[in-house]
Amino acid sequence: MTRFTSFTQRFRGTQTRPGKLGTFIGVFTPSILTILGVILFLRTGWVVGNVGLVGAMAIVIIANAVTFATALSVSTVATNMRVGAGGAYYIISRSLGVEIGAAIGIPLFLAQAFSVTLYAFGLAESLQLIWPETPLKPVATITVLVVALLAARGADLALRLQLPIMGGIVLALVALGIGIAGNMPESVDLAGTTGGFGFWPVFAVFFPAVTGIMAGVSLSGDLDQPARSIPRGSIAAVLVGFLVYLGVVVGLGLAATPEELVSDNLIWFTLAGGLGFLIFPGLWGAIFSSAVGSVLGAPRTLEAMVDDRVLPRFVGKRIKRIEGPGVPLLISIAVALSAILLGDLNAVAPVLTMFFLTTYGMVNLVAGVERLSGDPSFRPSLRVPSWVSLAGALGCFWVMFLINPLALAVAVVVEVGVYLIMRRRALAAPWGDLRRGALMALVRSTVLQLRRLPEDPRNWRPNILLFAGDARKRPELVRFASWLVQDRGILTVSDLRVGALEDLGPSVKEQTEALNRDLDELGVVAFGEIDVVDDFVSGVVDVAQANGIAGIASNTIMFGWSEKPDRQAEVLRIIERLATIGISAVICNARPFSTRKRRNIVVWWGGLQNNGDMLALFAHLLSLNPEWRDAQITLKSIATSDMMMQRNRLLLERVIGAARIDARIEILQRSDDVPISKQIFQESQSGDVVLMGLRATKRGDEASYARRLEELAEGLPSVLFIRSAGTFRGRLLGEQPDELNGRSLDAPS
């Protein structure tokens, strides 16, 4: 025993702590014994017989290539983080987030639980070869229960019982090799049986043979040093398993005919001749050890999901007489017993293949994306090229499609469903994951490309910076800003705090988080930020200039309506200053809406301020929102003569054509005895929102213009005053004659 301990310590590179497992016992042993399990003894000959020697070698190579890529991916991620309990689930959830982790963790758990059933059927089937009357399902049921009792005694005891089993498997392989050497035929049939199963159905039955690495990875929480043990144990197990399977496939293909291989599930015993008695201990030991490895992994996956609050707490409850996970072990056994209803080994194996391929694909995807994202924190000790992992992921999903497209579709639907449920629960994970790094890399690449592309009016999008104050007190204002953006641009909601940064700065992060929660409750997709400034006017100008990056900087600022004339004058002063650098502006007086089903949007057109294109564009974007869908847009204009009325109608008809929007036109005669503000008021009563342009103001005229705006807005429904000042001012509707360039009715002086 001392010699064996020193050997395992050398295999690990370090000594293990009490109660913790090393590389040999904790990873290599469960992995290789699960790989060299029931498929090796009972289905390898069947595989060769159905698809021929060349086809069987191709299956072994493809299956092991997928597994080897996965082993490399698992290893590269494991050497970059401290892998906790849960194995593959832990790796995926810490990399892609708890929602995706849950979506993959449940299929992984089912795969591990179904594996127990697979090996139980294998044992029952092997007994039928000796005693044909052996009942398949009852024996499989008893096998599951026996394995469960052993697992209840603890992982360390169960794993150490596998050491003599490994010796039995080695003896069985030696016996087979000797038997094959004495049964070499004069010619070899490279083709499979006529009318047998096709390549991919046979692949589906074989693939569980190479899923053994999950048996070791799933015990990550029991390992002394997972970052060292997982790479060494997993890669070694895959390579040894590949060599064994390739050798057995070649040996069986040379020593027996396809018909013999298909009809005799225990062809090993026949070929071994006088050494056949060595086959059964290896066979039964391999089945037993594989079942133990699976029954140890499944409860730990469940337990990890409970720790992350993916599953209810009672699922992870401990039971006094069970070492390790209690209730998770009982659930795993219940699932394994339920799977017995599928019928036999060949029925369970394809289901198991789909579950494992899903998990393998996601593990490979994690490693590949981590590598591509360029995250500075991703510094694995074992570096694997991203193309290896991504090729492994693609291979997994492609093989799933070839095996059974319907099963692939069902798997995707189930996993997306679990993901959406987890998203609705809004689970908060206390760790970072690669999604931010991957998106950061994508954003960086995008903005660099965006910088090199020429700007054009057709590509203009409203990126609005809204100075909303307390969003909870002005929900209509925030919603209006969201409607104007209409998922075409980016909305940033700023709560400006005037004061000293030394006093207000420490609470900015906490208040920003609160603001974003408020926006979520309002159902508004926006970026919330708290900005501390020394002065309101200069602060707004500074924030507006600094907001955004590259081609996605804010191009429009938006303010709510202020009842204070002095503040309204300050807003106009800010708008004028920012107009000099091409930033447009909106002042919104948001009021409650009518309850009528079809809402009306009124746009007043006239003047010479080139605001009309933005007015028409915002009216169109507003009508695209579900709450404003099918709204009636009416373009109104006031003319002083019949000739002007005809000219304006022609003008607006061409505007509608250029804007490609559905709108009505109303040309009104100017009344000499009615002030224009009153006429606007009378003609706007049918509207739910009124859009008007803002004219430029001279320094010192802001206060008087603010009073004029108040007169225009008084008594009206919600009003948007809009100032177009961007690069494409007057051209947002496309190339058009000068007389169409955005003439709108701007609030008169």
Strand partners, 467: 494, 559
Give residue 721's pLDDT band: very low, low, confident or very high (50, 70, 90). Answer: very high
- Across the chain, mean pLDDT equals 79
Cα 583 to Cα 154: distance, rounded to the nearest angstrom: 68
Q: What is the CATH architecture of 457-560?
A: 3-Layer(aba) Sandwich (3.40)
Asked whether residue 94 carries a pLDDT value surpassing 80, the answer given is: no
**Pairwise pLDDT comparison (697 vs 300), residue with the higher score:** 697
The two three-digit tokens of residue 490, written as one number = 């980016």
Q: 258-262, 376-380, 426-430 — which one is most confidently predicted on average?
A: 258-262
**157-175 as b/e, with b when 16 or more CB fall inside 10 Å?**
ebbeebeebbebbebbbeb
The gap from C-alpha 645 to its chain's centroid, in whole angstroms, comes to 57
- Beta strand 632-639 with 718-723 is unpaired
Closest CA to 282 of 459, 374, 164: 164
pLDDT tens, position by position, 329-368: 888 888 888 888 877 767 777 777 777 788 788 778 877 8
Give the amino acid at 24: F
Q: Which residues contact 657 (CB under 8 A, 6 or more apart)?
A: none
User: How is the chain split into domains, by residue range?
Assistant: 17-425, 457-560, 588-749
Give residue 540's pLDDT band: very low, low, confident or very high (50, 70, 90). Answer: very high
pTM recorded for the entire structure: 0.59
Strand partners, 557: 465, 585
Residues 30, 219 contacting (CB under 8 angstroms): yes
Residue 190, helix vs strand vs coil: coil
Residues 105, 305 contacting (CB under 8 angstroms): yes
The two three-digit tokens of residue 689, written as one number = 């929102």
Which of 93-102, 229-238, 676-685 shows the lowest per-residue confidence on average (mean pLDDT)? Answer: 93-102
**Pairwise pLDDT comparison (528 vs 657), residue with the higher score:** 528
Asked whether residue 39 carries a pLDDT value surpassing 90, the answer given is: no
pLDDT for the residue 192: 58
pLDDT for the residue 730: 66
Closest CA to 210 of 367, 23, 60, 16: 60
How many C-beta neighbours within 10 Å does residue 358 have?
A: 24
**What is the DSSP annotation of 670-685?**
PPTTS-HHHHHHHHTT
- Side-chain half-sphere of 393: how many Cα atoms within 13 Å? 15
Asked whether residue 290 carries a pLDDT value surpassing 60, the answer given is: yes
- Side-chain half-sphere of 609: how many Cα atoms within 13 Å? 27
Residues 183, 156 contacting (CB under 8 angstroms): no
pLDDT for the residue 378: 62
Give the containing element (helix H, strand E) for 617. Answer: helix 612-624
Give residue 22's pLDDT band: very low, low, confident or very high (50, 70, 90). Answer: confident
Cα 99 to Cα 95: distance, rounded to the nearest angstrom: 11
Mean pLDDT confidence for 624-652: 85
- Helix locations, 153-212, DSSP H: 155-160, 162-181, 199-206
Give residue 109's pLDDT band: very low, low, confident or very high (50, 70, 90). Answer: confident
Strand partners, 464: 491, 556
CATH number of 17-425: 1.20.1740.10
Closest CA to 163 of 301, 259, 28, 12: 28
pLDDT tens, position by position, 615-633: 888 888 888 888 887 788 9
Cα 571 to Cα 706: distance, rounded to the nearest angstrom: 9
* Cα angle: 525, vertex 591, 722; to 5 degrees: 70
Mean pLDDT confidence for 502-527: 89
Cα 712 to Cα 695: distance, rounded to the nearest angstrom: 13
Say how many residues make up the chain. Answer: 749
What is the assigned CATH class of domain 588-749? alpha beta
Q: Which residues contact 103 (CB under 8 A, 6 or more apart)?
A: 415, 416, 418, 419, 422
- Side-chain half-sphere of 98: how many Cα atoms within 13 Å? 20
Q: 149-158, 277-286, 523-532 — which one is most confidently predicted on average?
A: 523-532
- Side-chain half-sphere of 712: how many Cα atoms within 13 Å? 26
pLDDT for the residue 241: 92
Give the amino acid at 59: I
Residues 73, 230 contacting (CB under 8 angstroms): no
Cα 587 to Cα 567: distance, rounded to the nearest angstrom: 12
Q: Which residues contact 666 (CB under 8 A, 6 or more apart)?
A: 634, 635, 636, 637, 683
pLDDT for the residue 61: 94
Cα 268 to Cα 261: distance, rounded to the nearest angstrom: 10
pLDDT for the residue 429: 46
pLDDT tens, position by position, 97-107: 677 677 778 87
Domains 17-425 and 588-749 share a fold: no
- Helix locations, 182-225, DSSP H: 199-206, 213-217
Mean pLDDT confidence for 578-593: 89
Dihedral (CA of 79, 81, 87, 91) sign? negative
Composition of the chain by helix, strand, coil, percent to 5: 65, 10, 30
Cα 578 to Cα 462: distance, rounded to the nearest angstrom: 16
pLDDT tens, position by position, 438-465: 566 667 667 766 777 667 666 678 899 9
341: which DSSP letter? G
Asked whether residue 493 carries a pLDDT value surpassing 50, the answer given is: yes
555: which DSSP letter? -
Cα 189 to Cα 182: distance, rounded to the nearest angstrom: 18
Cα 91 to Cα 337: distance, rounded to the nearest angstrom: 28
Cα 228 to Cα 382: distance, rounded to the nearest angstrom: 10
Give residue 265's pLDDT band: very low, low, confident or very high (50, 70, 90). Answer: confident
Q: Which residues contact 256 (CB under 8 A, 6 or more apart)?
A: 45, 183, 264, 267, 270, 271
For residue 61, what are the CA distances in angstroms to 56, 68, 256, 501, 563?
9, 10, 21, 64, 76
209: which DSSP letter? G
**Pairwise pLDDT comparison (610 vs 740), residue with the higher score:** 610
* Cα angle: 114, vertex 98, 443; to 5 degrees: 130
220: which DSSP letter? G
Q: Which residues contact 694 (CB under 8 A, 6 or more apart)?
A: 575, 585, 587, 609, 611, 721, 722, 723, 746, 747
Residues 47, 205 contacting (CB under 8 angstroms): yes
By the 10 Å C-beta count (0-12 exposed, 13-18 middle, 19+ buried), 246 is classed as middle
Residues 464, 578 contacting (CB under 8 angstroms): no
Mean pLDDT confidence for 49-54: 88
Mean pLDDT confidence for 533-542: 91
Mean pLDDT confidence for 37-50: 85
For residue 59, what are the CA distances in angstroms to 14, 42, 99, 176, 348?
37, 16, 34, 21, 19
Mean pLDDT confidence for 311-332: 77
Phi, psi of 664 (to 5 degrees): -95, 160
Give the containing element (helix H, strand E) for 494. Answer: strand 491-498
pLDDT for the residue 412: 74
pLDDT for the residue 223: 78
Dihedral (CA of 677, 680, 682, 688) sign? negative
Asked whether residue 374 carries a pLDDT value surpassing 70, the answer given is: no
Strands (DSSP E) contained in 499-631 are 527-533, 556-560, 584-589, 600-605
Give the amino acid at 702: E
pLDDT for the residue 690: 93
